[in-house]
Structures are given as structure tokens and as C-alpha cells.
């Protein structure tokens, strides 16, 4: 059967005490709903529906580029009512997987097992064994262990409240049967809502097989209702991603102090120190070493490269056997070759550096093309911006840039050229020659430093 995923994302989230809709609250740098959509896409559904309500304009604006089908739940009358809003765009021959926009850690593998247990004449339900089932609907089974119904917390008897198996709300149901059961829902309950869970009793009555599948972990089905729960899920997500990196072969100095807010690929024998933040798409080559307090964002790091402490590197490519930092900054658009050294307080922007070059101290290199085995002295700045236009500095192979240089672009430093310390270079420095600028040094006799009046 084709798969239609329906994500319920219309809740207001009053307990968040936030102007931001609940499903847009951030988890690992992305909205809760974005996590659910990403995990849903891993199932290759034929259609993906989002039921929205509170803060609907903001929700749709945040996800306007995604290939989604939207259904408005103007009044929040329960989960059953929410699913009804999506059903006009779901075909009878589809299997409907119901997910929730505030349950972000559900694993695709778990969902695949759930889907496999359903079919044209059978549905499946994801349950969870809870240490504290407070707030969850309880799974009521008969003596043979078959599910009879789900009872919501506010409608449960004292005996039912002792049941530890809770309803996650996640289910896979054939669309034709789901449409029929939704049409029979009543709101005669403590909340006055149309509960999606009431279709379980209808399925049992119609002798439709209901297959329960217990979630492997409680974390997968945890929802978010307030900022405390959001922080708890952040910690669980952090632990999950750290575990993935370690299973991929990386050594983490402290798995509790690493944040992965994107997709990280690691080679063999990678070492990652404490308090490292990954964002976007990050690739670390074999034996790469990442020091403490480093931010890596949309970047590839080559094999045997060391990124020392307190660097912020983004949207760049770094080759093999390089040494970066400490306290280096890469703004977007850099390509760094192999065996390059960039030392403390060196900043790059839209710069290409070829193999074997180095800038070890206190330099800014922007809109530059730097050849092989170039030495950039301390305190060098490429003056690339005139207030309206960005211009290029070209430094050819083997050039030696003296300390304290101002290279005023557009300008070319020739092959094997040398520039003297303290020079402001505004014209081409010829190949293989020394180019420098020097103001005449003067000493003024009789001059006195001004003093403050007492």
C-alpha cells in the first residue's frame, strides 16, 4: 500500500509560555516539526500532510519550501477531529501513519516496524511502557493480551490508572477504514473532544486486527509541553547523536558535552574534544582532531587535520594535514589546501589558500587567492573593501609577506616576491624582488607629552 503520513501540528502549547507556536520551538537548532518531517521522509511516503492551527501562518512560512500538503484545523476539537481535516486529500487505498509535530525523536526504524504490521484489513498501534504514565491514555488489554480499547487519563478508572502501558498516539491505519471510523466518533467524554483513540474499540468491534508494537525506548515517543520537557528532549537528542558518532568510530572526550545540530560524517579514528558544536553538513576525515569549544558549520575537514581550541569555522573546505587555530575564524567561502597552517586570531573570508602556505598570527585575509608555500606575516591585512566594492588580492607561489603589511586590493604579489615589514602595498610587487614602503623616521626634540589638568 502507498503510505500517507499525517502529522498533527495544530496545538497551541500554552504551557510553553511563548509567542512561538509549540511545533516551532527549537530542538538542536531546528523546529520540532522539522525533526518529525525529516524522519517521516525517511519512510518515502507518497504524501505528507500537516494539520496546522495555532500560529498557522508562522508554521507555513517556516516550512514554505517543503513539499507538504496542508490542512487547517480552525478549532481544536481533539485528535480525531484533527485527522479528519487531512482525510479529504488521502486516497482510500493508502495506509495512513499518524504522527505528532511535538514528538521529534521517533526513529524511522520503529515506524517501519509499525507500518509492516498494518495492511488493508489490519491496523497497528505504537505503545510504550512508562515509568510514570501520568497524562497518557492507558492501553486496556483482555486476558489474552489483545488490545480492547484506549482510555484517556481523565476518563480512566482507578484500576485503569495503574496500567503502565501508555498510548503514544502513533498508529498506522488503512485509510478506507479510518475514514469510516472517524465518521462515527462522539465527543461524550470529560474533554468534550473527538478522540482518535476511540477508533481502537471500533476496530475491535469490527473484528479488524489491531497489532500493538511496544516502542523500544520511552524517549522515542516523548512529547513536549513546556520548556522543561524541551530541555529534557534536547539532552536525549544530544545523547542519541553522540552515540551515533561513537558507533561510527569517533572518540568523544565527553559524550555529554557535544551538540550535533545537523548531519556529521566521520572517518576513522576521529577525536572530538569537549563542548564542540556541529551545525549543518559537516565531514571529518580520517584522524581529524577537533579541539575544545569549536564551532563547525557546513564544512569539510580533511584527514589528519587538527582544529585547535576556540575556532569558529563555517561554509568552507579544509584539506589534509592542516593546523587551524587556536582562535581562528573562517567566514563563508574558503578553500584551504593541504598542509596549511592558520594560527591564532587569523580570519579568512572567500579566500583560496594552496598547499603548504601559512598565516600563523593575527591576520585578516579576505577575497584573496594565495598560492603554494606562501608565508603571511603577523598583522597582515588584505584591504579588500572600498565601501562599495570587494576586490581581490592575489599572492603567487613562494611569496613572503612581511609583518604588519596592508595589501590594498586589487593588487598582485608576484611569485617568490618579498614585501618588507610595515609596508602598505598598493601596486604590484614584482616576482622575486623585495618591495617595501617606508616613511622617513623622525625624532622631535623638545616635545612634551600633554598632561591632564589637575
Cα separation, 268 vs 298, whole angstroms:
20
Q: Is 233 within 8 Å of 216 (Cβ atoms)?
A: no
Residue 57 confidence (pLDDT): 87
Q: Does the domain formed by 2-221 have CATH 3.90.550.10?
A: yes
Asked if the domains 2-221 and 227-435 are classified in one and the same CATH topology, the answer is no
Asked whether the bond before 326 is cis by omega within 30 degrees of 0, the reply is: yes
Cα separation, 368 vs 336, whole angstroms:
12
Q: Is the dihedral of CA 187, 76, 26, 108 positive or negative?
A: positive
Tens-binned pLDDT, residue by residue, of the chain (454 aa): 899 999 999 988 889 999 899 999 999 999 999 999 999 999 999 999 999 998 888 999 998 877 899 999 998 899 999 999 999 999 999 999 999 999 999 999 999 999 999 999 999 999 999 988 888 889 999 888 888 888 988 889 999 999 999 999 999 999 999 999 999 999 988 888 999 989 999 999 999 999 999 999 999 999 999 999 999 999 999 999 999 999 999 999 999 999 999 999 999 999 999 999 999 999 999 999 999 999 999 999 999 999 999 999 999 999 999 999 999 999 999 999 999 999 999 999 999 999 999 999 999 999 999 999 999 999 999 999 999 999 999 999 999 999 999 999 999 999 999 999 999 999 999 999 999 998 899 999 999 998 988 8
Nine-digit cell string for 410: 586589487
Residue 188 confidence (pLDDT): 87
User: Residues of 172-206 as b/e, b for ≥16 C-beta within 10 angstroms?
Assistant: bbbbebbbebbeebeeeeeeebbbbbbbbbbbbee
Cα separation, 300 vs 282, whole angstroms:
6
Residue 189 confidence (pLDDT): 84
Residue 13 confidence (pLDDT): 84
| 116: number of Cβ within 10 Å | 12
Domain positions in the chain are 2-221, 227-435
Residue 49 confidence (pLDDT): 97
Q: How many CA atoms are closer than 13 Å to the CA of 338, on its beta-carbon side? A: 5
Cα separation, 340 vs 255, whole angstroms:
30
Q: Is 104 within 8 Å of 177 (Cβ atoms)?
A: no
Q: Which CATH superfamily is domain 227-435 in?
A: Hexapeptide repeat proteins (2.160.10.10)
- Indicate the helix (H) or strand (E) that contains 158: helix 158-161
Burial of 48 from C-beta contacts in 10 A (0-12 / 13-18 / 19+): buried
Which residues are designated catalytic? 361
| 165: number of Cβ within 10 Å | 19
Q: In 3D, which of 314, 386, 395 has the Cα closest to residue 358?
A: 395
Residue 64 confidence (pLDDT): 82
- Render pLDDT for 37-74 as a digit per residue (tens, 0 to 9): 999 999 999 999 999 998 888 999 998 877 899 999 99
Q: Is 316 within 8 Å of 330 (Cβ atoms)?
A: yes
* Cβ neighbours for 11, distance < 8 A, ≥ 6 positions apart: 22, 23, 53, 54, 76, 101, 102
Residue 145 confidence (pLDDT): 85
Q: Where are the beta strands (DSSP E) in 65-191?
A: 69-72, 94-100, 122-129, 138-141, 147-151, 165-174
Q: Is 77 within 8 Å of 186 (Cβ atoms)?
A: no
Q: In 3D, which of 324, 325, 326 has the Cα closest to residue 338?
A: 324
Cα separation, 28 vs 46, whole angstroms:
28
Helical segments of 18-142, H only: 32-41, 56-62, 79-86, 108-116
Q: In 3D, which of 304, 350, 329, 103 has the Cα closest to residue 218?
A: 103
- Render pLDDT for 146-176 as a digit per residue (tens, 0 to 9): 888 889 888 899 999 999 999 999 999 999 9
Amino acid at each position: 500500500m502507498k503510505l500517507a503520513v499525517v502529522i498533527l501540528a495544530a496545538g497551541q502549547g500554552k504551557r510553553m509560555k511563548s509567542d512561538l507556536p509549540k511545533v516551532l520551538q527549537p530542538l538542536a537548532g531546528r523546529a520540532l516539526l522539522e525533526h518529525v518531517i525529516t524522519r517521516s521522509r525517511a519512510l518515502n511516503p507518497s504524501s505528507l500532510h500537516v494539520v496546522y492551527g495555532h500560529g498557522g501562518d508562522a508554521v507555513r512560512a517556516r516550512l514554505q519550501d517543503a513539499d507538504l500538503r496542508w490542512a487547517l484545523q480552525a478549532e481544536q476539537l481533539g485528535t480525531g477531529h484533527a485527522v479528519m481535516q487531512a482525510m479529504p486529500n488521502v486516497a482510500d487505498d493508502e495506509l495512513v501513519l499518524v504522527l505528532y509535530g511535538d514528538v521529534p525523536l521517533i526513529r524511522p526504524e520503529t515506524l517501519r516496524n509499525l507500518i509492516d504490521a498494518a495492511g488493508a484489513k489490519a491496523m497497528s498501534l505504537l505503545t510504550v511502557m512508562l515509568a510514570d504514565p501520568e497524562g497518557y491514555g492507558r492501553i486496556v488489554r483482555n486476558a489474552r493480551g489483545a488490545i480492547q480499547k484506549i482510555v484517556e487519563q481523565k476518563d480512566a478508572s482507578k484500576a485503569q490508572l495503574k496500567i503502565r502501558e501508555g498510548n503514544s498516539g502513533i498508529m498506522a491505519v488503512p485509510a478506507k477504514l479510518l475514514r469510516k471510523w472517524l465518521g462515527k466518533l462522539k465527543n461524550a467524554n470529560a474533554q468534550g473532544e473527538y478522540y482518535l483513540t476511540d477508533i481502537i474499540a471500533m476496530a475491535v468491534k469490527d473484528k479488524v486486527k489491531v497489532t500493538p508494537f511496544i516502542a523500544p525506548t520511552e524517549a522515542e515517543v516523548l512529547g513536549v509541553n513546556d520548556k522543561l520537557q524541551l530541555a529534557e528532549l534536547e539532552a536525549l537528542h544530544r545523547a542519541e547523536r553522540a552515540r551515533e558518532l561513537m558507533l561510527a568510530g569517533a572518540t568523544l572526550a565527553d559524550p555529554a558535552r557535544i551538540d550535533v545540530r545537523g548531519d556529521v560524517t566521520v572517518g576513522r579514528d576521529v577525536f572530538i574534544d569537549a563542548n564542540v558544536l556541529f551545525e549543518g553538513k559537516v565531514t571529518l576525515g580520517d584522524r581529524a582532531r577537533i579541539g575544545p569549544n569549536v564551532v563547525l558549520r557546513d564544512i569539510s575537514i580533511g584527514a589528519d587535520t587538527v582544529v585547535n581550541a576556540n575556532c569558529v569555522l563555517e561554509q568552507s573546505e579544509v584539506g589534509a594535514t592542516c593546523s587551524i587555530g587556536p582562535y581562528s575564524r573562517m567566514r563563508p567561502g574558503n578553500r584551504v589546501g593541504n598542509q596549511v597552517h592558520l594560527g591564532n586570531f587569523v580570519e579568512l573570508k572567500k579566500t583560496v589558500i594552496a598547499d603548504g602556505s601559512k598565516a600563523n598570527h593575527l591576520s585578516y585575509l579576505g577575497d584573496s587567492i594565495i598560492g603554494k608555500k606562501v608565508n603571511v606575516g603577523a598583522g597582515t591585512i588584505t584591504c579588500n573593501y572600498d565601501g562599495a566594492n570587494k576586490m581581490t588580492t592575489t599572492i603567487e607561489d613562494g611569496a613572503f609577506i612581511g609583518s604588519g603589511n596592508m595589501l590594498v586590493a586589487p593588487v598582485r604579489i608576484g611569485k617568490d616576491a618579498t614585501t618588507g615589514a610595515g609596508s602598505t602595498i598598493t601596486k604590484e610587487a614584482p616576482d622575486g624582488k623585495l618591495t617595501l614602503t617606508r616613511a622617513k623616521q623622525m625624532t622631535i626634540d623638545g616635545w612634551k607629552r600633554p598632561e591632564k589638568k589637575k
